[in-house]
Amino acid sequence: MRKPRNVGTKRNPKYAGAVRYKGRERWVGTFPTAAEWKDRALEIIAEMQAEQPDDPLTVASFVGTKKELGSWLADDPRRRGKTVERYMEGAKPFAEKYGDVQFEKLPSRYELRKWAKGQPVHVIKAIRIMWNDAINDSVTTRPNPFTEMGIEKSEGRANITVLTPDEVDLLAECARSTRPGPFGEMLYALILWQAYTAVRPGEGAAVRRFQVDLDAGTASITHQVGPGGGLEPTKTVAGKRVIAVPRRAADAVRAMPVLHPEHLFCAVRGGLISSASGWHYYWDPIRTAFMAQLPQDHQLHERIAEAIAEGKDPAKCREGEGHFQLYELRHFGLTRLLELGGWRNVMDVCVQAGHRSPALLYSTYGHPDKAKAITRLLKLDKVERDLREGLTPEDERRLTAG
């Protein structure tokens, strides 16, 4: 059952919300306590059960298909685009095996977990989410059998070692050298834009000229380029934002030629930059030239070697685990902002990132340089020592008083 929302205040709470049953939704009402709301919600679910014939949904009818989504992901404001595709693809093996079976008649928890242990991690995650949603929508009362499966969590993006500023400059120079002429100059600016604004690649490709004010040092992020090559809304509501444009990015954009009257960056034939327009053909030579100039003991070479040793294709690994991806420049940019003082006011960096969660920023995008961290800690120790040397006995007594 879904939890109600507090539509009042902390001092005067009011809990409201709707419940779903077999794809149907009904408003519960507004109550002074969550317990009262829950009691009424249970009554409404019982009424909805009585109104419908006893025909529990099968797995396939709940999951639905990509083209015609079932009640599971239909009109879900929390998930869209690639997230929906990923969940649908992950749930597919389960729907193929148990599609004609009603939830209440599925095999035992032991049998389901035994089947799941032979599946890839993304499948287990998808069907675990699917089952939770089935419980929330009152499709089943059975506990989720796919919780606590002991799945090893990949460090993934949280384990990325970000480039240094000099390495970002080298990458940008490689972009310029692989495409001599105006287009190469634009790619040079694009690399620095992605690195210093820390926007997502799709957001950077979607920026239009009227959205950028280089004199004020700002840009509006309202859209991203989707997998099909067209403009679509940003990934999240928080993703629609005004960002700061650091001087390094602003200078690069000022100096680059205008290749499209509307879009800041464009493909070689004038369209939007995306996988659909052949970004691969621009990026691969840039990355190859960049890697050729790095020492063989560089962490990026070691990362590729580790992927190959594990039997993975470096080109198909997620960022941080194979070939260097353009998205990793976002990690460089956000880490840079945190290093410049954003650790003390992380919400400022959240605005730049398009995130509402400082926890995500800390865990995924904050990659502090360990040597610099030690230096900062020693400086703090010196400040404390110098401060104490100037304290009077009375100051010391007051400072250490319980």
Q: How far out from the chain centre does Cα 229 lie?
A: 20
- Cα 393 to Cα 151, 322, 387, distances in angstroms: 57, 59, 13
Which pLDDT does position 78 carry in this prediction?
63
DSSP element (H, E) containing 204: helix 201-206
Same structural domain, 125 and 178: no
Which pLDDT does position 158 carry in this prediction?
65
Q: Which domain holds residue 258?
A: 159-328
The token duo for 139 is 């499709």
CA 291/CA 285 separation, integer angstroms: 10
Is 333 a member of any domain?
Answer: no
Same structural domain, 178 and 314: yes
- Cα 53 to Cα 56, 57, 110, 264, distances in angstroms: 9, 11, 30, 57
How would you write 225-277 as a 3-class SS string?
A: ECCCCCEEECCCCCCCEEEECCHHHHHHHHHCCCCCCCECCCCCCCCCCCCCC
Same structural domain, 165 and 292: yes
Is 286 a member of any domain?
Answer: yes
- Per the CB < 8 A criterion, the answer to whether 73 and 95 are in contact is no
Which pLDDT does position 70 carry in this prediction?
53
Q: Is 160 helix (H, G, I), strand (E, B) or coil?
A: coil
Same structural domain, 244 and 205: yes
Is 277 a member of any domain?
Answer: yes
Which pLDDT does position 68 carry in this prediction?
53
Give me the CATH number covering residue 241: 1.10.443
pLDDT in tens, 40-69: 888 888 887 776 655 567 888 888 765 455
CA 313/CA 161 separation, integer angstroms: 20
Same structural domain, 200 and 72: no
Is 310 a member of any domain?
Answer: yes
Which pLDDT does position 183 carry in this prediction?
95
Which pLDDT does position 45 carry in this prediction?
81
pLDDT in tens, 302-350: 999 998 998 889 888 877 888 999 999 999 999 998 888 766 778 888 8
Same structural domain, 216 and 284: yes
Which pLDDT does position 77 carry in this prediction?
62
Residue for token pair 């690195």: 195
- Per the CB < 8 A criterion, the answer to whether 336 and 164 are in contact is no
Domain boundary among 268, 296, 328: 328
The token duo for 135 is 């419980």
Q: How many domains does the chain have?
A: 3
Is 260 a member of any domain?
Answer: yes
Same structural domain, 149 and 171: no
Which pLDDT does position 290 carry in this prediction?
96
Domain boundary among 112, 135, 153: 153
* Backbone φ, ψ for residue 18 (5° rounding): -120, 165
Is 28 a member of any domain?
Answer: yes
Is 391 a member of any domain?
Answer: no
Residues whose CB is less than 8 angstroms from the CB of residue 352 and which lie 6 or more positions away in sequence, other chains included: 197, 198, 241, 243, 244, 333, 334, 337
Same structural domain, 171 and 144: no
Cα four-point dihedral sign 6, 7, 13, 14: negative
Same structural domain, 200 and 225: yes
Task: Give pLDDT < 50 ranges for the chain.
Answer: 67, 154
Is 398 a member of any domain?
Answer: no
Domain boundary among 130, 153, 176: 153
Which pLDDT does position 55 carry in this prediction?
59
Same structural domain, 135 and 278: no
CA 128/CA 284 separation, integer angstroms: 36
Strand 223-225 and strand 231-233: the pairing is antiparallel
- Per the CB < 8 A criterion, the answer to whether 24 and 64 are in contact is no
Q: Return the DSSP state at 31.
A: E
Same structural domain, 125 and 92: yes
- What type of residue is 82? K
Same structural domain, 169 and 315: yes
* DSSP assignment of 108-157: PHHHHHHHHTTS-HHHHHHHHHHHHHHHHTTS--S--TTSS--PPPP-GG
Q: How far out from the chain centre does Cα 54 lie?
A: 40
- pTM beyond cutoff 0.75: no
